[in-house]
Amino acid sequence: MNIFKDSGHLFKFAACFVIGFLIYLGLRGFVVPKTFGQYGHYRGSALKDIAAKPIKYAGHQVCEDCHTDQATAKSAGKHVTVNCEACHGALAAHANDPTSVIPVKPDPLVLCARCHTATAAKPKDFPQVNIDEHSGGAPCTMCHTNPHSPAMGAAPAAGGAK
Amino acid sequence: MNISRRHMLVLLPAAAVAWESVLAGTPENSPNYNMSEHWWGMLIQIPKCIGCGNCVRACATENDVPDGFFRTWVERYHVTDYNLTEPEVISPNGGKDGFPIVQEDAGKYFYVPKMCNACADSPCTQVCPVGATFVSPDGAVLVDQSYCLGCAYCVQACPYGCRYIHPQKHVADKCTLCYHRITKGLTTACVENCPTGARQLVNLKDPKDPIHAFLKTHTVQVLKPQMATNSKAFYYGLDGSVR
């Protein structure tokens, strides 16, 4: 008995299977993003897409490259841990184009109060005052002349660098 | 050239495989940034947080976070009568505009900055049905927004409530650990703008990072350790009442 008598049917079936598999491979190559699976079960190039977003805060190193006076004053005072943009706002635009993007000087009564308004909920060792009692509405910089190094009697802020 | 049917059967799959590798191309390396040298995490020191909300504002500015949604936020805890199980927690507008002034000094108050905990075994990435969210090789939990369907499985899977569906894009959005900044050698917007140094970005793969000395000498805690998320947001001085 010849068991391979009707093997022609099997070859046709196998050919259909192979063609189907090739169509699947072709579609898969077309549909699945190129970098899918590069690092794991996700699109590897998504990392590059996310990293390509432009920054808005330049970072204090960039500020200190030009504003050396302020950096020096700050490094000697209590505000050493406060980075430039924590008070002055996001200024990557200014760092990229220092002449046409001019930062707005913050209002001391608003800015200082954000951190230094007295409340029982703050850590006790953090310097805090009742602004109305403490200054009677006068701007903080009247006495604490250099906000970059806010101790009383510190050298006044250098006004030149903008 | 005469190709038999048998040759064709071999050649076609080979061509398909070759075409796939052509499509995949070679991965481009970011200049000066080597993913394998980083394993990002965060150190948050509760005793240093003054609840100024600078981190929340900075995050919203840097990442265009829509109003009413937060990638990071600050909670104020008030524990009275030593009742650790029922703390009074407020977070008005995520702490973006600061916190109401407290006059009386009953019980204890403290601020808890919250953000993506950068879990190494993140529950949020495990539930994604389409591979749109993942833990990057350098330890940031990211969303591929061009791939996300907006099904919000991940939003409900995050034990820390750190994800939301973006109201305009209708896809999942979350803290990226400022991936666009840390890959350029900068720190995150929240760390950059924290005036007291309560937040600290840490690279656990860098042997010179001060985090290693800190973790050796201080008692730190992660949020919801029972969830086994392998969180990399280390809290120093965390009270037992924090959920």
Is the pLDDT at A45 greater than 50? The verdict is yes
Whether A121 is in a domain gets the answer yes
Write the Ramachandran bin of B159: left for phi over 0, alpha for psi from -120 to 50, otherwise beta.
alpha
Lowest mean pLDDT among B13-22, B146-155, B220-229: B13-22
Q: Residue B180 in contact with residue A52, Cβ under 8 Å?
A: yes
Q: How many domains does chain A have?
A: 1
Q: Is B23 on the interface with A (CB under 8 A)?
A: yes
Residue B104 pLDDT: 79
Whether A115 is in a domain gets the answer yes
Q: Are the beta carbons of A121 and B111 separated by less than 8 Å? A: yes
Instruction: From B109, B6, B157, B159, select the one nearest A120 (Cα to Cα).
Output: B109
Q: How confident is the model at residue B243 (pLDDT cuts 50, 70, 90)?
A: confident
**Closest chain A residue to B54, measured at CA:** A86
- List pLDDT tens digits, range B46-78: 999 999 999 999 999 999 999 999 999 999 999
If you search the block for the tokens 């020191």, which residue do you land on? B45
What are chain B's domains? Answer: 35-121+173-236 (3.30.70.20)
Residue A161 pLDDT: 38
Whether A49 is in a domain gets the answer no
- List pLDDT tens digits, range B167-221: 999 999 999 999 999 999 999 999 999 999 999 999 999 999 999 999 999 999 9
Which residues of chain A are within 8 Å of residue B120 when distances are taken between CB atoms? none
Whether A78 is in a domain gets the answer yes
Whether A79 is in a domain gets the answer yes
Helix (H) or strand (E) run with residue B129 in it: none
Residue A77 distance to chain B (closest CA, Å): 13
The residue among A17 and A151 whose pLDDT is bigger is A17
The residue among A156 and B25 whose pLDDT is bigger is A156
Is the pLDDT at A160 greater than 70? The verdict is no
Whether A6 is in a domain gets the answer no
Which residues of chain B are within 8 Å of residue A20 when distances are taken between CB atoms? none
- List pLDDT tens digits, range B111-169: 999 999 999 999 999 999 999 999 999 999 999 999 999 999 999 999 999 999 999 99
Q: Is B16 on the interface with A (CB under 8 A)?
A: yes
- Helix B5-24 with A7-31: angle, nearest 10 deg: 20
Instruction: From B46, B47, B74, select the one nearest B60 (Cα to Cα).
Output: B74
Q: Residue B147 in contact with residue A32, Cβ under 8 Å?
A: no
Q: Residue B173 in contact with residue B15, Cβ under 8 Å?
A: no
Residue B27 pLDDT: 39
Residue A136 pLDDT: 87
Which residues of chain B are within 8 Å of residue A56 when distances are taken between CB atoms? 61-62, 189
User: Where do runs of H (alpha helix) occur along chain B?
Assistant: 5-24, 54-63, 123-126, 153-157, 179-182, 189-193, 211-217
B:45-84 residues touching chain A, CB 8 A cutoff: 47-54, 58, 61-62, 76, 78
Domain range spanning residue A137?
60-142
**Closest chain B residue to A33, measured at CA:** B24
